[in-house]
Chains A and B, each alone.
Chain A
Amino acid sequence: MLALIPLLPLIGFLINGSWYALGQARGGKAVPATAAGGIATATIGASFVCALMLFLQLLGSEEEARTLEVTLFHWISAGALQIPFTLRFDQLSSLFCLVITGVGSLIHIFSIGYMGHDESPQKFFAYLNLFCAFMLVLVLGGSLPVLFLGWEGVGLCSYLLISYWYTDPDKASAGKKAFIVNRIGDLGFLLGMFLIFTTFGSLDFTALKQLVLTMPVSGGIMTTICLLLFVGCTGKSAQIPLFVWLPDAMAGPTPVSALIHAATMVTSGIYLVSRLSFMFALSPDALCVVATIGAATALFAATIAIAQNDIKKVLAYSTVSQLGYMFLACGVGAYASGVFHVITHAFFKALLFMGAGSVIHGMHEEQDIQKMGGLRRLMPQTFLVFAVGWLAIAGIPPLSGFVSKDEILWMAFASEHGSVALWVVGALTAALTAFYMSRLFILTFLGTPRFKVAEPQDKGHHDHGHGHDHGHGDAAHHGVAVHESPAVMVLPLAVLAVLSAVAGAIGIPHMSWLEHWLHPVLAHAPALRPEVHHETEWVLMGVSVGIAIVGIALAFVIYGNLKTAERFKTQWASLAKILSNKWYVDEFYDALIVKPLNALATILWKFFDVKVIDRIVLSLGDASNQSGALARSLQNGSTQLYAFLMLAGFLSIVGYSLYGIFH
């Protein structure tokens, strides 16, 4: 049963994949998305059912027995290196499995509608299923290498899906960038894995947990291990300094953004830190780095999100920012809060992304929020669910986002690893989050349409039949025939909206079911700082609600009226420019790393390889040619010269022998 969880999506991948390959071999006729999507959804849905049944089994069993394990086969075995392909289902991985398969199923259903006009839906759904399979291997893997298999596998699927519309060079580049940046992180992961193996001699989580407790290891090594692994996390979970790929990753189809770049893959860094929390707990220095990077990323990404106009880019930076929150939680030792935010974030961010997808679908591939507005009436259902997501992420009680975020802020303030500074950064980010999400919401749904609404009779003409990868060019001339998305897209949104609203219930402070559930697998929750009082918690909670309301109110003041928005924009033009250019991080990396490296490579090739090494080799050849030419000049064909040389030789030999005789 446990093996079925990742196996089912893999089977779905194989079916859709071979269908695609065979179809291409026979000339590639178009296939209805419902068929391919049906298969894919069925497999991931079945996987969800399996995960749910196992989860219920875990719920029903004793606390000590809440680990299921199955070894599928021996993967690598060479000497001391024994890596069985083990899947382990415990409290932590069960939650992630449920989120992945649950949200995954909803997104699969949504995709049936969203990708309805795609040329080769089998390919899309095959990739999507493959992603789910790898993601499940990642969270179920019982040892680091198995986790790494999933870790790189999701990176691959991310690459494939980001460049899904590969005929656009920008989208293809975005996928490449994601893969390469992730690879940089993976290098850290790999080295961390090596260091763990040489230090402890095992890579299995259970064994490691024992070994870490029994083997005395210097703090320096532990910190190095944690930091190396954290480098991997910064890559996969888009933290400073490796976050640059995630905003570009929005080039992929929107369901992909929802699944991979919001709900699941990007949270695998938090999963890794939580999974190895027993190691991180031993290294306060590493925790400090994690918390600092998390807080810094949260704030940094939030500032960028303010100035973005692409609906998906705003959400992408928001994701980076929220991931920063989760690392902040892990960094102050509140792993359960981090996982809690992973879950709630998965719900509301998937909801927001797919809501955005619905908007983009309805607007015929328009993504610029400046050209939207007034969609409240044109897409009422989407408006409603999106509003839930917006309030959840903005942190309005009692929606889930509020509960989990507030928990993180409280821990950032109160934990022994936390500090007031971390809380201030977190709170500031919360205000910014409320502000930019409200801005997005207002510009998209409220006010009046800032585009030409097409007459109803145009609708049939423009409605369907556009490929997703090309244009809305003619729509600009005739106006846009905005339409509400079909039920297959709206229903998953509704489910997610409900979940976003109520999911906070599993982690209500002081009676958190989640914390209790995760307690055996995570490192112990940190002690509170001695100077912190319990009453402060309620004060801070009030403050964070206040912050959220202030952020929202500010957005309404500025963006409620377009004239104020314009004035606001001109007032802050220079700052807005920096922000909308993302602090020039991409340019900075390009100038500092990519370009010099490329130049170095060219020099190495054109100069060192060709002009130096090869020149030396060729001059060796030339040298033998030259000496041959020299010897050849004696051989000039003149018999008399030969005779003379013979004579000279003869005389010198005779002379030499005579010399020998007389001395």
Chain B
Amino acid sequence: MASSTSCLLSWLVFLPLLWALVGLCIPTNTASGLKLSKLSALIGSLVTFAVSICVYQQFDPASAQAQLAENHAWIPSLGVGYRLGIDGISLWLVLLTTFLTPIVILSSWESVEKKVKAYYALILALETAMLGTFLAMDAFLFYTFWEAMLIPMYFLVGIWGGKERIYAAMKLFLYTMAGSLLMLVAIFYLAYQYKLQTGLGYSMYLPDLYMVKIPSGGYLAPQSLLFLAFTIAFAIKVPLFPLHTWLPDAHVQAPTAGSVILAGVLLKMGGYGLIRFVLPLFPDAVRLYQTPMLVLGTVAITYGALIAWVQTDVKKLVAYSSVSHMGYVVLGIFALNPTGMTGAVYQMLCHGISTSGLFLLVGMIYDRRHTREMSDFGGISKVMPLFAIAFMIILLSSAALPGTNGFIGEFMILLGLWQTSQVLAAFAALGVILGAVYLLFMFQKVMLGPVTGDENKRLKDLSLREVAVLVPLLIAVFWMGFNPGFWFKKMQTSIDASLVPYSQSAVASSNAEKVGTPWNP
């Protein structure tokens, strides 16, 4: 692949960071300066969204190649390059990221009061790191952005978080680091193997790495070990049971914006990594570990849902519901068929919309009452009818009611899984019941019943700004629920390409030689 002249992706990635640096220069010792810095962050994120729309328009869904690619040498001696590219899977995740960032910025308009300038700068910096992770076509660059993402996140949780924010931030940081170091070692191993096998020197370029042949066979063969190294890193991010315990703490302690980004985008990194690295690199190991992974995914769904049911803290409930929902993503990916995979990518987008919505809504009542205990609420529907409408819709989307986005994702995943394993699909589908159980329990405790307490009686309904925050999400819920084809058609080719090693013919000849990889068929 020749380096192209377009540098649209670089603009997309680094625009938020540049904007953040510019924003830091705005003096905020006056009220108007403060407002200006918020406004500048909002505009910056909107401009980034506009750039991502340009990327969307230039994207060609017919090709599975990495598009709008950029390729520059960085550390030639190690084969590291600055390589960006976009395909049908990362396209939507990039758009999800740029779509959520303005919403997040708008949602923290009034709730963040200390160190305002730094806060927005960190969010924009985080956006750069997230976009970079999705767009990197070089293992080393991917790793760099992957780690860079942690820094703003650490500060967002650690500075603007709740009471136990330091503990939560540290846990988030160390958990992720532990996983990603395994990944780093595995990346070096791959680069080294590339050098050994081709004699061309090191390479961290993804399509190059896809060509590396790694001995397989057995649960502890090199390929299996590499598979585990990558998968653990991504499973922590997803988070897959039993590596999920950082999530409830991080979500509960993070400020609303942090939770939204965490749930909306960061968790998707795990799923994205599985599709981008694990599936094409280690087909034999993936087939070997398919059943254990599916079992873990199924356990995650029921386990997360059951625990969510008995939570008393609204935010913790939503956090555990994420564990449950992201279990579906793992199932869809490891079902290893186009239906399941499409569902998995779609579910990532849907979860990004609906769980972000839930966190935003929880944040809105938290701003009013400064508590997240369900027992402190009751009958909120009566005093906040608009809030109740929005809450109901997002909740239904999260409970996967047909007509909302959540249904399409879960339906496709379960259908795909059904073709792989009917028993596991039946168990995974229990999540459909349990999802309704915990969400409706929460809704009843918080929203229904008689209005309790004077503080609840005085609650104000949504402000115009909050409506503006929620409306795009509500539109997305129905749009994605009724017109999934709009999304599918851009990702179809890429998904089919990523499953090439797992097609019937590939399975037949898998032991002989590794066949077609996404970009080198």
Contacts and interface: CB of A to CB of B under 8 A. Distances in A.
Partners in one complex: yes
B401 interface: yes
19 contacts: A25-B386, A76-B412, A78-B488, A81-B412, A81-B415, A145-B402, A152-B402, A152-B403, A153-B403, A167-B449, A169-B444, A176-B444, A180-B437, A184-B433, A190-B414, A191-B418, A191-B426, A191-B429, A617-B246
The interface centre, meaning the residue of A77, A79, A156 with most chain B CB atoms within 10 A of its CB, is A79
Given A81-B415, A600-B306, A186 B432 contact: yes
A172 B448 contact: yes
A169 B450 contact: yes
Contacts of A74: 485
Interface in B472-509: 482-485, 488, 492
A190 B429 contact: yes
A198 B402 contact: no
A187 B432 CA distance: 7
A167 B451 contact: yes
Interface stretch (B91-99, B131-139, B279-287, B377-385): B377-385
A21 B471 CA distance: 13
Given A78-B488, A597-B306, 19 more contacts: A20-B385, A24-B385, A75-B485, A76-B485, A81-B339, A153-B401, A156-B396, A166-B448, A167-B379, A168-B450, A173-B444, A176-B441, A179-B436, A180-B436, A183-B433, A183-B437, A190-B411, A601-B307, A604-B307
A81 B416 CA distance: 10
Given A153-B402, A605-B307, A179 B342 contact: no
B185 interface: no
Q: Could you say which interface size class chain A belongs to?
A: 35 or more
Interface in A226-266: none
A176 B440 contact: yes
B275 interface: no
Contacts of B244: 613
Nearest to A186: B432
A187 B436 contact: no
Interface residues of B, number: 59
Contacts of A649: none
Interface in A164-220: 166-169, 172-173, 176, 179-180, 183-184, 186-187, 190-191, 194-195, 197-198
B310 interface: yes
Interface in A35-53: none
B242 interface: yes
B457 to A, nearest CB: 12
Contacts of B194: none
Given A24-B385, A169-B448, A194-B414, A152 B425 contact: no
A380 interface: no
Interface in B246-301: 246
Given A78-B338, A78-B342, A609-B245, A604 B433 contact: no
A601 B306 contact: yes
Interface in B401-455: 401-403, 407-408, 411-412, 414-415, 418-419, 422, 425-426, 429-430, 432-433, 436-437, 440-441, 444, 447-451
B389 interface: yes
A194 B245 contact: no
A602 interface: yes
Given A602-B310, A617-B175, A187 B488 contact: no
Instruction: Determine which residue in A77, A78, A149, A597 has the highest number of CB atoms from chain B within 10 A of its CB, and name it.
Output: A78
B145 interface: no
Contact of B306 (A79, A172, A604): A604
Contacts of B450: 167-169
Contacts of B303: 604
Nearest to B245: A614
Contacts of B429: 187, 190-191
Contacts of A187: 429-430, 432-433
A152 B402 CA distance: 7
A413 B307 CA distance: 50
Most chain A C-beta atoms within 10 Å of own C-beta, residue among B342, B382, B411: B411
A77 B440 contact: no
Nearest to A224: B422
A169 B422 CA distance: 39
A628 interface: no
Contacts of A78: 338-339, 342, 412, 484, 488, 492
